[in-house]
């Protein structure tokens, strides 16, 4: 019989160093998928995933057994992702700020989001209605601000 998350967490707290690896194996795909969708970069998603599990390891004693572990984990992943994205953006572009506070690089970057006509074209070329709906949902979620995007993703992972 498979151990529950609560049993694995208790074993981790009790000093079983191998127990935590079971949690990492069980949930790393979910955390990575969440981080990749938010950060849109494989390397960043890997870093975020690793950093998330380090934070979980350090704070495992703070986990409350009445909570669902997956919800707690994805909340940590959400916060880690948002912090990571904020740090990355500031570190990369802040060197290009002028005296007025404008950033030439940020103001001249091409928008990577799909335009509405591109989404419509994807919908028309979709094999069936479910592909069209899926493409529209992806576009809508990707166009949301980071914190709202995280809420949608957390809701998706709560269902699974």
Say what the pTM is.
0.59
Provide the number of structural domains found in the chain.
2
Please report, for residues 52, 66, 158, the alpha-carbon distance to residue 23 in angstroms, rounded to integers and kept in the order given: 12, 17, 17
Q: 14 lies in which domain range?
A: 1-98
Per-residue DSSP letter, 134 = H
pLDDT digits (tens, 9 = 90+) for 139-160: 666 767 776 777 766 766 666 5
In a domain, 36, yes or no: yes
pLDDT digits (tens, 9 = 90+) for 51-104: 999 999 999 999 998 889 999 999 999 999 989 988 876 544 555 566 676 665
What CATH number is associated with residue 87? 1.10.1740.10
Nearest CA to 74 among 41, 37, 113? 37
- pLDDT of res. 105: 52
87 in the same domain as 127? no
144 in the same domain as 80? no
- pLDDT of res. 4: 92
In a domain, 63, yes or no: yes
- pLDDT of res. 124: 56
In a domain, 138, yes or no: yes
- pLDDT of res. 91: 47
Cα 154 from Cα 157, distance rounded (Å): 5
In a domain, 86, yes or no: yes
Distance of CA 63 to the CA centre of its chain: 20
In a domain, 119, yes or no: yes
94 in the same domain as 114? no
Supply angle C-alpha 141, 127, 135, rounded to 5: 5
| Res. 118 pLDDT band, cuts 50 70 90 | low
| Res. 136 pLDDT band, cuts 50 70 90 | low
- For 25-39, 68-82, 119-133, which range has the lowest pLDDT when averaged over its residues? 119-133
123 in the same domain as 72? no
- pLDDT of res. 150: 72
pLDDT digits (tens, 9 = 90+) for 6-22: 999 999 999 998 999 99
Q: Are 119 and 136 in contact (CB under 8 A)?
A: yes
């Amino acid at each position: 019989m498979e151990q529950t998350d609560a049993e694995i967490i208790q074993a981790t707290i009790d000093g079983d160093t191998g127990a935590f690896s079971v949690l990492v194996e069980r949930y790393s795909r979910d955390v990575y998928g969440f981080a990749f969708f938010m950060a849109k970069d494989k390397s960043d998603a890997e870093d975020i995933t690793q950093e998330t599990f380090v934070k979980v390891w350090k704070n495992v004693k703070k986990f409350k057994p009445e909570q669902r572990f997956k919800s707690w984990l994805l909340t940590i992943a959400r916060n880690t992702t948002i912090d990571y994205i904020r740090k990355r953006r500031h570190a990369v572009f802040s060197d290009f700020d002028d005296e007025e506070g404008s950033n030439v690089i940020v103001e001249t970057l091409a928008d990577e989001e799909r335009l509405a006509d591109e989404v419509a074209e994807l919908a028309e070329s979709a094999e069936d209605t479910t592909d069209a709906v899926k493409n529209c949902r992806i576009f809508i979620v990707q166009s949301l601000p980071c914190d709202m995007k995280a809420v949608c993703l957390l809701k998706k992972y709560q269902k699974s």
